[in-house]
Structure 1
Amino acid sequence: MPQLPAVIQQQLEQALALKCYRRFYDFFLVFWQVIEPTMPLKENWHIEYLCNEAQQIVENLAARGDKEYDLIVSISPGETKSTIFSRILPAWVWLRDASLKIISGSYDFSLATSFTVKSRDIINSPQYQKIITTLSALKSHPQYAHELRHFKPFKLKGDQNVKSYYESDCGGMRIASSPGSRITGFHADLILVDDSVKPPSPKQGTGINYSDIQAAIHWVGKVLSSRKTDRKKTVTIYVQQRVAKKDVTDHLLRTLPMVKHIRLPATDRHPIEPPELRERYVNGFMNPHTTDDEVIREKTLQMTTSGWVAQFEQNPDEEGGGIWKAAWFGRFSMKDLPVTGVIWHSVTDTASTDDLNNSSTGMLAYTYIGGIFYVRSFKAVWVQADRLGYEYIKFLVQNGYDAVASKAEIEPKANGISFAQLMRNEDIVKLSATELEKQGIRASHVRRINTKPFDNVLIGEPTGDRKQQVRYLSMSKTDKAVHVANAIRAGRVKLLDESDLPPGENWQEFLEAAEDFPSTGITEVIDTVAYMIVSNEAVSAGALFSKFTTGSYANLYRRDEPLHLFWCIEPAVNRYRCIAVQLTEVSPGVAAIVVHDEFEASDLRNLCTELLDVYANHQQTAVHYHIMQPSAEHTQLAEIFSPRFEPYTRFGCKFASMFHFTGKATALRTISGNGKQKASEQLSSRANALATLLSGGYTLKTTPKFAGRKVSILIDVSCLKLSDAIRSLLRDYDNMDRYGDWVNAFSLGISKMLDTERELYRF
């Protein structure tokens, strides 16, 4: 290609230099090719618009005018915002005035440093240096002297030139910053903030930690705001997508005295600022090069509708901007609950740290009555492991913990499992209880906490395709939140009215975290509330897996009706269990199998002594069922439950014993109708038959006294292990190793009991 004449070449260079100096958008177009040589620019109207906005601010800075406003730009990811403001703009700022000082930052220091490096690449490029040389020559020309009065030819200082910090020889400075980094001693004329909080990726599935938001607010509101050369002149530009209702942008809009907000949602279905920009949308899209209906469908599948509304539509306040809504949570007063029989349970998601940048330990206290969850307290604490036990026990005793009846469930992650074990240690619990007593908090009645890990519930219809089911503990937080959303929307989770809360406590932080998720929030709110619902109902498409009822049924105990004792004796592992049951009339025409007590010990005689003590005044027959195959333990049980056993006489027992020691193979015909299957093949049949009973689908046919009546199962709240075992096994047969022996004893015992009741009432 023939070389242009020198005069023409000079004129072209002068024209390009003046064009780049006069207009930031033209400078952007030229230097896009420098930093993105392999990626063609897809031009859209918003790029020129944002460049013009930035130019107005920089021209005023170069003229040393007073600040008119700080600028906030809310825009979708992938719309060139970082290239405009963090990579190319700083190089143009020094083209206008190389004495200006710039602090630029982002949520991650390495990302902030990459921005400074790209700007330095532009400055060091031959094209930029040629513009500097050309403008230097033009500045001496009278025609351009006034226009170029702020222009200062410059070079980067060799002794102050590293990736995250460099200076111009005209006094200008550029330094990278991020939350937690130190910029003491540096002040700026222009502060650039590009995404102060790391946005969740489309497939992340979890929200931003609330502490990340708080750290970013501290960074922009306290740290960067104190790094201004002149508070009347320094301008801050915040460029970031919205991530939550109470995010950094929300904080800035509420606290900055002079601010201009440019809000460019991906579609025109949401508020646009300034409103007149709506006219520039093409077929409803801000940038048709990057967004169409197919893209929206794909993104909402990846990141949920709420994520799309916040990050792409810049409207986290919109309905759909969060999975849960604060308005869904009702209120209750303590006087709304029954006077007696209310048992308070707890759900805990542990984290042993006092670092506010990490997850907290979330603790929730609730009771479950008539299908409604009444939550009396939620507390998030950031404490080290050595103080966590104290805070945990304090929370329990202040929220109605009953050492016998209350469930204390803990998420079984690594530190959760070890913490649960510690809380079952009486010596360790005693230390915290003693300290609480010294502070005037009654805790001496707590000897150990009957902690248990979350069940790994199988979510999905129990008779459905296993491929359509998923285990609760493997679900993402977002999936958990969606799974129980209908229960919350229906008003079945109520919070204690603030008039009943201790002084200074409220639900604001809880509700903000619940409503902002998955964009942000104390995510322990999601874990504890979701498991509270799942653990009691195993929610699947709104249906209950387990339909037995728990409550206080001491009033249903009948001294003058048979007492049935289901024994599960395993001497090989020193495990002895017994379940005490009655079949009784709970109201006219209504029968129930009432489980009064469960006993467990490592010694058979000690267990029998405890049972004799509890039921010494029982006046009717006690029928014993040995759930295992007949063995030598029959003789031992018969020996114990006779006047020859010293405690029998000492307690003055009034009941006589009847022993029903038939084997497993013949014990199932009452419920399952099939006594020919081997015992090893009966587990599924027993569980299914029990599920039929629990759902109210079984009519008594074998007991004349209750013939033709529907029967339900009522389990006293004191029977924690049995109720947990039945609930867990009916959800998922894969829990058999953990809970099978309890359900085995219970289901076989019921079968034998109904058969025996028929025999008892025949005569």
Structure 2
Amino acid sequence: MCQLRGGTRAQARPSIGGTLTGRGGNLIVIDDPLKPQDAYSEAARENTKQWYSNTLLSRLDDKTKDAIIVVMQRLHLDDLVGHLLEQEGWTHLNLPAIAESEFRIPLGSERYHLRRVGDLLHPEREPREVLDEFKRSMGSLDFAAQYQQEPVAEGGNLIKWDWFQFYDKPPGRTPDDRIIVSWDTAMSSKELSSYSACVVLQIRGETAWVLDVFRERLEYPDLRRKVIELHRRWRKACNRYELVIENKGSGMSLIQDLRDENIHAIKVDPEGDKVMRMNAQTARIEAGSVSLPRSAGWLDEFRREVMAFPAGHYTDQIDAFSQALDRAFNRRGGEVGWKFVRGLY
């Protein structure tokens, strides 16, 4: 349902996908725009997003100060809220039934409500034993989406989050350490296009630390500048350094342009599909040989993409990540890191 409010009275309650011609409002409230049974219908999700962008968005009377509120349970990574969170300008109030991390909810006048790990949203109506029973009957996938507002099965899909190790400070560097800067690039910064993503690894023996992740929609000139900027930053950090770029799309032009700047980039022609490439690295991650920072500005977005893979909407960070691990351990001048290849005994 969608409710338009002008002044102090509700003016209309059209259905999602319905016409709004001739109607406007100062406050638009969208309530549960997607039905649970439509969550896995790509057509239904796209229809909802198109209705929002092409019909509803223009109905604000004063676009400088009017507001839109979306109230919904999460149903899919690519539902309307997932789509809107990819854009700027939204305040996100996320209230999972069971708090999975400690966070503060602002109440105004510099007051906060603190939720600690394990706190229940409404223990009188939904105590822990009731929620546990719901999870058993619904399954972890639907429970994670509808009750936890995290439309990914607990722990992840192909990759489990608890497989990773975590560090408070990055390790120091030894003469034998390597730095690998891996790029998965996209050509366009149009709204629905892919991101360009970069993952930076420090390698020591059979261990990898993720030092940095960059992800943004960039037109080619901005992409080129960013690649050079990160190259110069990390090239100084270690004597053994490799810049790796997937040889497709804008990456092909980028490799040539960097050569003109006397910057050597290793071009990678991917083999197999992206699920196969990431799956080849899961044994190493599961063995505890890959570490992430305990806190970083990019960590939440990286976590969402990793845990959603391969069902998530975006895979740019995953592609750069698997490419970096492959370069680090499986393509060292023809040497193969057999220790972590599944199925070999």
TM-score, normalised on structure 1? 0.30
- Structure-2 change in CA distance of 1:495 and 1:189 (3 Å): closer
- Checking the alignment, whether the CA contact within 8 Å between 1:345 and 1:401 is kept in structure 2 is no
Take 2:133 and 2:248, find their aligned partners in 1: how far apart are those partners?
42
Secondary structure at the aligned position of 1:413 is classed as coil
**Highest RCO, 1 vs 2 (Cα 8 Å, sep ≥ 6):** 2
Other-structure match for 1:535: 327
Provide the rounded CA distance (Å) in 1 between the counterparts of 2:327 and 2:290.
14
- Please give the alpha-carbon distance, in whole angstroms, between the structure 2 residues aligned to 1:418 and 1:478: 26
Q: Distance in 2 between matches of 1:537 and 1:366?
A: 12
Q: Which residue of 2 aligns with 1:123?
A: none
Higher-Rg structure is: 1
1:201, 1:532 → 2: CA distance?
A: 34
| Residue identity in the other structure for 1:452 | I
Q: Residue 309 of structure 2 corresponds to which residue in structure 1?
A: 517
2:224 pairs with one of 384, 389, 400: 389
Task: Specify the SS of the correspondent of 1:241.
Answer: coil
Aligned match of 1:422: 257
* Letter of the 1:323 counterpart: L
Spell out the pairing of 1:209-248 with structure 2 (5 A cutoff): 238=72, 241-243=75-77, 247=82
Tell me the amino acid that sits aligned with residue 176 of structure 2.
G
Query: Compared with structure 1, are the counterparts of its residues 252 and 531 closer, same or farther at alpha carbon in structure 2 (3 Å cutoff)?
Result: same
Alignment correspondent of 1:101? 12
| Residue aligned with 2:281, SS | helix
The structure-2 alpha-carbon separation of the partners of 1:325 and 1:226, relative to structure 1 and needing over 3 Å to count, comes to farther
The answer as to whether partners of 1:326 and 1:512 remain within 8 angstroms in 2 is no
Q: CA deviation at 1:380?
A: 1.2
Aligned length: 285
Contact preservation (8 Å) 1:343, 1:367: yes
What letter matches 2:329 in structure 1?
E
1-side partners of 2:159 and 2:131: how far apart?
A: 22
Mapped to 1, the partners of 2:58 and 2:93 lie a distance apart of: 13
2:268 is aligned, of 451, 454, 467, to 454
SS in 2 for 1:399: helix
Q: Does structure 2 conserve the Cα–Cα contact (< 8 Å) formed by 1:331 and 1:497?
A: yes
> Which amino acid letter does the alignment assign opposite residue 215 of structure 2?
A
Residue matched to 1:339? 174
Letter in 2 for 1:241: L
- Whether contact under 8 Å (1:362, 1:380) holds in the other structure is yes
Does the 8 Å contact 1:366/1:376 carry over to 2? yes
1:194 and 2:29 equivalent?
no
3-state DSSP of counterpart to 1:407: strand
Q: Post-superposition shift, 1:410?
A: 0.9
1:491 correspondence with 2:326: no
Asked whether 1:319 is paired with 2:180, we answer no
Q: CA, structure 1 residues 334+189, in 2 after alignment: closer, same or farther (shift >3 Å)? A: closer
Q: How far 1:512 moved relative to its partner? A: 3.3
What's the offset of the Cα at 1:326?
A: 3.7
CA distance in 1, matches of 2:306, 2:58: 30
Counterpart mapping for 1:451-490 below 5 A: 451-456=265-270, 472=271, 474-475=272-273, 477-490=274-287
Q: Is the 8 A contact 2:183 2:244 kept in 1?
A: yes
Contact 2:177-2:238 within 8 A present in 1 as well = no
Specify whether residues 193 and 101 from structure 1 end up closer, same or farther in structure 2 by C-alpha distance, changes over 3 A only: same
C-alpha separation in 2, matches of 1:340 and 1:238: 53
Distance verdict in 2 for CA 1:332–1:165, change over 3 Å: closer
SS of 1:346's equivalent in the other structure is: strand
Query: Which structure has the highest helix share of the two?
Result: 1
* Residue 425 of structure 1: how far off its partner (Å): 0.9
From the superposition, tell whether residues 420 and 191 of structure 1 become closer, same or farther in structure 2 (CA, over 3 Å): same
Distance 1:244 1:270 in 2: 26
Q: Which amino acid aligns with 1:449?
A: I
Counterpart among 399, 411, 435 of residue 234 in structure 2: 399
Q: Output the amino acid matched with 2:315.
A: T
- Contact (CA 8 Å) 1:348, 1:364: kept in 2 or not? yes
Preserved contact between residue 181 and residue 244 of structure 2 (Cα < 8 Å): yes
What one-letter code is carried by the residue in structure 1 that aligns with 2:205? Answer: G
Structure 1 runs not aligned, ≥5 long: 1-53, 68-98, 106-111, 117-163, 168-172, 174-184, 203-207, 229-233, 261-267, 279-283, 287-295, 297-304, 427-447, 457-471, 539-545, 547-722, 731-763
| Aligned residue in 2 for 1:372 | 207
Write the distance in 2 (CA, Å) between the matches of 1:165 and 1:335: 54
Q: Deviations over 1:557-615 (max 9, x none)?
A: xxxxxxxxxxxxxxxxxxxxxxxxxxxxxxxxxxxxxxxxxxxxxxxxxxxxxxxxxxx
CA displacement 1:502-526 (0-9 Å, x = unmatched)? xxx5533323332343454752221
Partner of 2:241: helix, strand, or coil?
coil
Separation of aligned partners in 1, 2:264 and 2:28: 60
Does the C-alpha gap of structure 1 residues 398 and 521 become closer, same or farther in structure 2, counting only changes over 3 Å? farther
Distance 1:360 1:530 in 2: 16
Contact kept in structure 2, 1:512 and 1:521, CA below 8 Å:
no
Cα contact 1:420–1:451 (8 A) shared by 2: yes
* 1:194 counterpart SS class: coil
Conserved in 1, the CA contact under 8 Å of 2:168 and 2:294?
yes
Distance change (3 Å), C-alpha of 1:531 and 1:310: farther
Amino acid at match of 1:379: F
1:602-613 alignment runs, 5 A limit? none
- Alpha carbons 2:27, 2:60 under 8 Å: kept: no
State whether structure 2 residue 298 is matched by structure 1 residue 526. Answer: no
Unaligned runs of 5+ in 2: 63-67, 86-91, 96-104, 108-120, 123-129, 339-345
Contact 2:196 2:216 in 1 (8 A): yes
8 Å Cα contact 2:178-2:240 kept in structure 1: yes
Tell me the percent identity.
18
Q: Distance in 1 between matches of 2:205 and 2:26?
A: 62
Q: Tell me if 1:508 matches 2:300.
A: yes
Report what 1:411 is aligned to: 246
Residue aligning to 2:188 = 353
State the distance in 2 between where 1:424 and 1:307 align: 49
Provide the aligned C-alpha RMSD in A. 5.3
